[in-house]
Structure 1
Amino acid sequence: MKNLSKVFTTVAVSLIIGSSYGSLHPVKNNLVTSIEQLNSNHKPNPNGNTVKIALLLDTSNSMDGLINQAKSQLWDIVNKFTHAKCGNDLGPRLQIALYQYGNDHLAAKEGYIQQVLGFSSDLDEISEKLFSLSTNGGEEYCGQVIQTSLRQLDWGNNPDHLKMIFIAGNEPFTQGKIHYKDAVANAKEKDVIINTIFCGNYEQGINSHWKDGAQLSGGDYMAIDHNREVVHIKTPYDNIIIQLNNKLNKTYVSYGAQGASKLQQQAVQDSNAMEMEEVVAVKRAVSKSSRMYSNSSWDLVDASKEDDFELGNIGKEQLPPILRGKSKVEIKSYIAEKNAERIAIQKEIQALNKKREAYITAKRKDSGKGELENAMIGAIMKQAERKNYRWD
């Protein structure tokens, strides 16, 4: 595993260099004329509903297992939404926010609470923030962290959007100066559903008011073994998907002030996933092959799919070195080539993942899934039905 992880990291870093400084290959004429068709098939949906999920994670001393589950099972949750459809038959956008609480390293005057990330659809950024978390002892104020997330985050007023809080921890739900019932009342006013995940015995969670905190807002109460080791099932398709992910990375064409750093972030998060376990890297690659992974702010291929994209608005100095000095037609041809390559690779990953999932289904026992993944996906699918969401 360690040797494979080192290879993966080396390849990822080389891709950063290759994407920025590689040679410009000739492009077939039909790519120039077909870029609009390719984009229309893989364009992020501007009219779909939005799912907003705020994760409130206890990062006190006993929560290392919870944080590790969040890091490894993020991609299962993202991949589940790949197949979601709204009432208008369009796929929803997914935005995730992240808070940590109960950590002595955080400011006492803020209730040992920190917004790690506001609502974001940037999957690399979400992964980076999850990997930045570390645990330390502290006071766990559930009502206050819920109230803080309701106040700080932009939940919006659209009644069709699905808005959810998942709070996980293992101390009584009643601690802190803000009572959980007041926070729940505020959540109901904003049409936000609170789901509680007690890390420990089911009955203990009920006795410490975690169940009541969820039910008052129409949410779900769950208890998990946060220290449980999840046994991932390896498949004959994993290695191929990882190799395809390496090829997928070569299709990214960075631009703008953040282009180079975001390209590096992509590679680092690939490496982080691989360091956890090869299967986690596979799940991340599957997410990257879906509509949920879009990087129009720094990648010219994704940017070209936006309605307001205008190549002429991008200065030569904002382009990667390989494209500076090229004509507008040549740049468009290069983007079209990379777009076509990406779509082909993404389709291949998705096809392999279907075989992978079938293999896992045949091999998996009831204990095969992750505790946090099971808890969250079950609640999400149940509550999404109220907003007319469905899964293919």
Structure 2
Amino acid sequence: MKKKINLCVISLLAGLASVTAAEAKGARPASDRAVEQQTVRKPLAAEQASKVQIAILLDTSNSMDGLIAQAKTQLWKVVNVFNDASQDGKVPFVEVALYEYGNDGLSKDGRWLRQIQPLSRDLDQISEDLFSLTTNGGAEFCGAVIDRASSDLKWDASADVYKAIFIAGNEPFTQGPVEPMNAVERAAAKGIIVNTIHCGAEAVGISSGWKQGAEMSGGKFMSINQDKAVVHIKAPQDAEILKCNAALNKTYLSYGSQAKHKRTQQLRQDQQAERLSESGAAVQRTLTKASLNYSNSAWDLVDASQQEGFELKSIKEDELPEEMRKMDLAERQAWIAKMAGERKSVQEKIRQLNEEREKFVAEQMKAMAEEDKANTLGDAVVDAVKQQAETHGYKFDKDAE
């Protein structure tokens, strides 16, 4: 697969500003003005990115352990769909929301459902939340959880933004106190496409309302085997990609009150993905970390320094990484620039390795029998996302600008 979109993090700190007439008159030292100009940057999203919003609604009743397992391994695959995409020349980033429903461990008054994460770019947190899910019960009310997701989340009002709900479960779609078809219609009125994923036989999904629910909003009805193991074709490039992940982690400069927690969380989610090595989760996670979709401006100085209004001098010394505390402002800026350059170089290497990897995987897939190919949550979501996002002007792979 040939990539035509450069998703590299843009290099920081273009250089010192030239001396202006005002500086010459002694208004402020040129060095101070130059440092300040380097700390205030327009956000990448405003210049080069468009938005995608996806809410994933998972049935966590007793029979859904396999579904949760697939979600843990394939979160990164779903997000990576947009790594090689563009919309009007802009690179899309993905916001993901997560709900669970049908779990007797939740509140009856809340209709056995809860919002785990609102629409967010904090993919490490979403991954951690997926690994914390357990099954129990229960009463699966599809209409209720669709209604909550469409009304509670901060969906973008623009018709150009691809907005989609993916709800997965195995009980009749029509259960519960909220009429699901009405809930789907209310979501569609906001420009949200509702896709339904029935865990089980296709005929059962059709007869129990899952297909009709998808059709109400122009969504896609899919049937999957939630207990099927995720297919991962091991490629010669996998080991080198994972080595790059270790190098990538060294470029993170954690700061602020969440520094220790978020840095630990990042490494923990790396380890969680590595434990699922047979599913390819670690490789897919690394590909995400080499893309625009992996943004940690709330705790990483390299990402934060790309945000509009960011001022390094406003960060307290004891909230900086230890290696930066004895540096002056200019040295700190230079250190961030160095880490940004190293990150960009590693990310580019990961993308090049993945180009080779995808060619190898494509050849191996051709030789596989159809029954051996995956029919899982991630595959269902990826197929639907590509088809639907194209109607909103997103271009993928060889068609991308």
**Shorter-chain TM-score: which interval?**
0.7 to 0.9
> d(CA) in 2 for partners of 1:89 and 1:178?
41
Identity, in percent, stands at: 45
Instruction: Spell out, residue by residue over 1:52-110, the C-alpha distance to the aligned partner (whole angstroms, 9 max, x if none).
Output: 11100000111111111111111111111111211x21012210000000111011111
The correspondence of residues 301-340 of structure 1 with structure 2, limited to 5 A, is 301-340=302-341
Moved more, 301-310 or 354-363: 301-310
Question: 3-state DSSP class of the match of 1:46?
Answer: helix
Residue number among 389, 392, 397 corresponding to 1:387 in the alignment: 392
Instruction: Spell out, residue by residue over 1:327-383, the C-alpha distance to the aligned partner (whole angstroms, 9 max, x if none).
Output: 011111111111111111111111111111111111122433452122111111111
The correspondence of residues 355-374 of structure 1 with structure 2, limited to 5 A, is 355-364=356-365, 365=368, 366=370, 367-369=372-374, 371-374=376-379
C-alpha contact 1:97 1:118 (8 A) present in aligned 2? yes
Residue number among 374, 377, 385 corresponding to 2:382 in the alignment: 377
Give the deviation of 1:230 after TM superposition: 2.2
Distance 1:358 1:369, change over 3 A: farther
Give the deviation of 1:125 after TM superposition: 1.1
C-alpha contact 1:237 1:356 (8 A) present in aligned 2? yes
> d(CA) in 2 for partners of 1:200 and 1:265?
34
2:288 paired residue number: 287
Moved more, 97-106 or 180-189: 180-189
> d(CA) in 2 for partners of 1:35 and 1:188?
50
> d(CA) in 2 for partners of 1:362 and 1:43?
39
C-alpha contact 2:296 2:304 (8 A) present in aligned 1? yes
> d(CA) in 1 for partners of 2:13 and 2:167?
48
Which amino acid is the alignment partner of residue 348 of structure 2? K
> d(CA) in 2 for partners of 1:263 and 1:318?
13
1:350 paired residue number: 351
C-alpha contact 1:195 1:219 (8 A) present in aligned 2? yes
C-alpha contact 1:35 1:336 (8 A) present in aligned 2? no
1:50 paired residue number: 51
Give the deviation of 1:210 after TM superposition: 0.3
Q: Is 1:164 the equivalent of 2:169?
A: no
The correspondence of residues 55-204 of structure 1 with structure 2, limited to 5 A, is 55-86=56-87, 88-204=88-204
Question: 3-state DSSP class of the match of 1:80?
Answer: helix
Give the deviation of 1:276 after TM superposition: 1.4
Give the deviation of 1:33 after TM superposition: 5.5
Distance 1:271 1:250, change over 3 A: same
> d(CA) in 2 for partners of 1:113 and 1:343?
41
1:216 paired residue number: 216
Which amino acid is the alignment partner of residue 258 of structure 1? Q
Question: 3-state DSSP class of the match of 2:46?
Answer: coil
Which amino acid is the alignment partner of residue 98 of structure 2? L
Which amino acid is the alignment partner of residue 59 of structure 1? T
Give the deviation of 1:43 after TM superposition: 6.7
1:4 paired residue number: none
Which amino acid is the alignment partner of residue 361 of structure 2? I
> d(CA) in 2 for partners of 1:309 and 1:368?
47
C-alpha contact 1:69 1:370 (8 A) present in aligned 2? no
Give the deviation of 1:156 after TM superposition: 3.0
4+ residue stretches of structure 1 with deviation over 6 A? Answer: none
Instruction: Spell out, residue by residue over 1:29-51, the C-alpha distance to the aligned partner (whole angstroms, 9 max, x if none).
Output: x9976699x99xx9732253321
Distance 1:224 1:246, change over 3 A: same
Give the deviation of 1:231 after TM superposition: 3.0
C-alpha contact 1:96 1:119 (8 A) present in aligned 2? yes
> d(CA) in 2 for partners of 1:35 and 1:68?
50
C-alpha contact 2:224 2:375 (8 A) present in aligned 1? no
The correspondence of residues 12-23 of structure 1 with structure 2, limited to 5 A, is none
C-alpha contact 2:43 2:308 (8 A) present in aligned 1? no
> d(CA) in 1 for partners of 2:387 and 2:119?
22
Moved more, 204-213 or 145-154: 145-154
TM-score (norm 2): 0.86
Give the deviation of 1:129 after TM superposition: 1.1
Moved more, 278-287 or 140-149: 278-287
> d(CA) in 1 for partners of 2:354 and 2:105?
41
Which amino acid is the alignment partner of residue 266 of structure 2? Q
Distance 1:236 1:35, change over 3 A: farther
TM-score (norm 1): 0.88
Distance 1:349 1:131, change over 3 A: same
> d(CA) in 2 for partners of 1:211 and 1:280?
30
> d(CA) in 1 for partners of 2:44 and 2:271?
26
Count residues with an aligned counterpart.
Answer: 360
C-alpha contact 1:44 1:294 (8 A) present in aligned 2? no
1:12 paired residue number: none
Question: 3-state DSSP class of the match of 2:44?
Answer: coil
> d(CA) in 2 for partners of 1:146 and 1:208?
17
> d(CA) in 1 for partners of 2:142 and 2:207?
15
Question: 3-state DSSP class of the match of 2:326?
Answer: coil
Distance 1:335 1:131, change over 3 A: same
Distance 1:151 1:54, change over 3 A: same
Q: Is 1:296 the equivalent of 2:297?
A: yes
C-alpha contact 1:55 1:97 (8 A) present in aligned 2? yes
Which amino acid is the alignment partner of residue 83 of structure 1? D
Distance 1:117 1:33, change over 3 A: closer
Which amino acid is the alignment partner of residue 290 of structure 2? S
Structure 1 residue runs without a partner (length 5+): 1-29
Distance 1:32 1:209, change over 3 A: closer
Distance 1:175 1:359, change over 3 A: same
